[in-house]
């Protein structure tokens, strides 16, 4: 189970700078963790993401949407991460280019596509979330979310104004755990939250979306879990910053 005192501390930090009743309610902040079960530095970051997600149950907490994105470049080192996905490695490389990094690394957290930090740095993470929460966001609504075979379908509505953006959807397991038999984490039982199994750039947009149909499929060999999450967000085409995001739990 996540460590309760740490969850309480995160909840306090995330509620410390809430808007007054006269101000607009805060929009969700998207937190992406790039991680791997083959990386010995990653379990503390995985645990921090679990704690951040658990803190969302606290009334008044800053809304945060988390995604655990398992990369592939550790798979050669004795353990093949069963949740790794080449598309997520590609996404991290895109961020690496935008941030001017010499190379990608794990664990890495990206907050709203605008700030990157070491994935286990709790203090910097809370600061980045609080900063991102002050930025204006585009509300996104989901309707008629349902399973259709091995795919999830939904209708998306948003008003991005004049922004040029890409509509992106992620389908994630609500939670996962794994007993690692080899590699740097040999012998450890690892727990993860919001594990991305599919991430798709659906379409470029400029202008309003009104009940836009979307579909996101699971990759071949990946089976639907009883509890999953559909995350849909808009990314600025110029700098990759997240303009708006929403999440809806889905059950099988």
Beta-bridge mates of residue 153: 146, 215
Three-state DSSP class for 196?
A: strand
- The residue-averaged pLDDT of 186-213 equals 95
CA 109, chain centre distance (Å):
9
How far apart are alpha carbons 193 and 107 in whole angstroms?
A: 15
- Looking at residue 4, its pLDDT comes to 54
Phi, psi of 240 (to 5 degrees): 80, 0
Per-residue pLDDT tens for 33-75?
A: 999 999 999 999 999 999 999 998 777 777 999 999 999 999 9
Per-residue pLDDT tens for 141-197?
A: 999 999 998 899 999 999 877 679 999 999 999 999 999 999 999 999 999 999 999
- Looking at residue 159, its pLDDT comes to 87
> pTM score > 0.95 for this model?
no
* Beta-sheet pairing, 29-35 with 64-70: parallel
Asked whether residue 18 carries a pLDDT value surpassing 60, the answer given is: no
Three-state DSSP class for 19?
A: coil
């Amino acid at each position: 189970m996540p460590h309760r005192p740490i969850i309480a501390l995160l909840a306090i930090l995330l509620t410390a700078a809430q808007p007054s009743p006269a101000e607009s309610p805060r929009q969700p902040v998207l937190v992406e963790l790039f991680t791997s079960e083959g990386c010995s530095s990653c379990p503390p970051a995985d645990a921090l993401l679990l704690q951040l997600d658990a803190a969302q149950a606290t009334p008044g907490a800053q809304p945060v949407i988390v995604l655990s994105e398992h990369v592939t470049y550790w798979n050669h080192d004795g353990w093949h991460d069963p949740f790794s996905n080449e598309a997520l490695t590609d996404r991290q490389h895109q961020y690496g280019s935008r941030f001017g990094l010499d190379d990608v690394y794990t664990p890495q957290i990206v907050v709203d596509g605008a700030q990157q930090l070491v994935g286990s740095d709790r203090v910097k993470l809370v600061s980045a979330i609080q900063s991102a929460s002050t930025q204006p966001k585009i509300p996104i609504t989901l309707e008629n979310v349902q399973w259709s075979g091995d795919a999830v379908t939904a209708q998306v509505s948003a008003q991005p104004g004049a922004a040029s953006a890409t509509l992106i959807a992620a389908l994630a397991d609500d939670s996962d755990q794994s007993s690692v038999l080899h590699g740097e984490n040999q012998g450890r039982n690892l727990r993860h939250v919001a594990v991305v199994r599919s991430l798709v750039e659906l379409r470029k947009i400029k202008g309003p979306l009104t009940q836009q149909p979307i579909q996101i499929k699971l990759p071949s060999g990946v089976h639907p879990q009883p509890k999953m999450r559909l995350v849909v967000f808009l990314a600025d085409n110029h700098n990759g910053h997240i303009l708006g995001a929403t999440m809806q739990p889905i059950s099988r």
